[in-house]
A and B are shown apart, each in its own frame.
Chain A
């Protein structure tokens, strides 16, 4: 049998061979000083490669990551479509309730006079306010993402 190749020797060191191969290689190794020396060299190299110091992140790394993940989760909740629709609905409701109260108060008490809005009605104003709320919500969502 020819000398074992470097690749074959690495396979022995890394235990990447089956029993049949192992037997054949061992037979050769028992009578070949050169291959045994080579195998020893690769074994020593593997030992040092495996014991290379592994660098670690700075102290508190896991805490910082966990905090970041938490923040991302919270941002996600505030960005959910259902939550955004809820926010929008809530804002619109407040606006409508406010104007409805004004109209009701104006109806019951003649002393409260609504100031005139040039070129539009209070309903138009309410729609404009709702649109402003919607745009603001979009801008906030984009900033969060």
Chain B
């Protein structure tokens, strides 16, 4: 945990400081919004969910005992808020195992896929088709640099479940992305 976060939290609790609140939001809005956006896949909804998450966070910040775990706690609130919105609109869930057919059809020319942008597009397509829990695990692991134990806390899952889901998600990614890396791989 960054010492600046600790100082801002203390300042907010002591003086209900708007500046501390603004600074904390600024420092973590990308992570919170990113989490919401990747679950909801809609900018407006994600922004509303992120805003709700921060309001809940500040509303109960004084109850937080282990302040060094505030980021996990904040991300956990964001995940629950986004997932509640996601469930309330009843989308069609796509299981990670069923990705094979859908992504393969759109990317049948490995030559063209060598471009970085195309690679990114494919990665985003795969993420979009994952269920929110799997994509959240990957996002927290790779984008937020969280450990499995921390992710398990955030998503209220067991560590073994997170490990299994992470492994399966990586396997799917590997099978989908391998053709795009042929040129980069050493012979």
Q: How many residues of A contact B (CB 8 A)?
A: 32
Judge whether B162 is part of the interface by a CB distance below 8 angstroms: no
Pick out which of these stretches binds chain A: B17-25, B67-75, B89-97. B17-25
- Please state if A52 and B142 are interface contacts (CB–CB under 8 Å): yes
- Please state if A62 and B25 are interface contacts (CB–CB under 8 Å): yes
Kindly state the separation between the CA atoms of A6 and B172 in the bound complex, as whole angstroms: 11
Kindly state the separation between the CA atoms of A40 and B18 in the bound complex, as whole angstroms: 48
Interface residues of B (CB under 8 A from A): 16, 18, 21-22, 25-26, 29-31, 33-34, 37-38, 43, 46-47, 50-51, 54-55, 58-59, 119-120, 123-124, 138, 142-143, 167, 170-171, 173-174, 177-178, 181, 184-186
Question: Could you say which residues of chain B place their CB within 8 Å of the CB of A70?
Answer: 18, 21
Nearest A residue (CB) for B148? A16
B51 is contacted by which of A7, A10, A44, A64 (Cβ under 8 Å)?
A64
B143 is contacted by which of A6, A37, A50, A72 (Cβ under 8 Å)?
A50
Q: A22-33: contact bitstring with B at CB < 8 Å (1 yes, 0 no)?
A: 000000000000
Pick out which of these stretches binds chain B: A53-61, A97-105, A132-140. A53-61
Instruction: Please judge, given known A-B contacts A6-B170, A52-B142, A56-B33, whether A61 and B55 are in contact too, CB under 8 Å.
Output: no
- Please state if A72 and B55 are interface contacts (CB–CB under 8 Å): yes
Q: Which 8 A-B pairs have the closest CB atoms?
A: A62-B25, A66-B22, A57-B33, A49-B142, A62-B26, A66-B21, A65-B25, A55-B37
Instruction: Please judge, given known A-B contacts A40-B186, A57-B33, whether A65 and B143 are in contact too, CB under 8 Å.
Output: no
- Please state if B186 and A68 are interface contacts (CB–CB under 8 Å): no
- Please state if B25 and A61 are interface contacts (CB–CB under 8 Å): yes
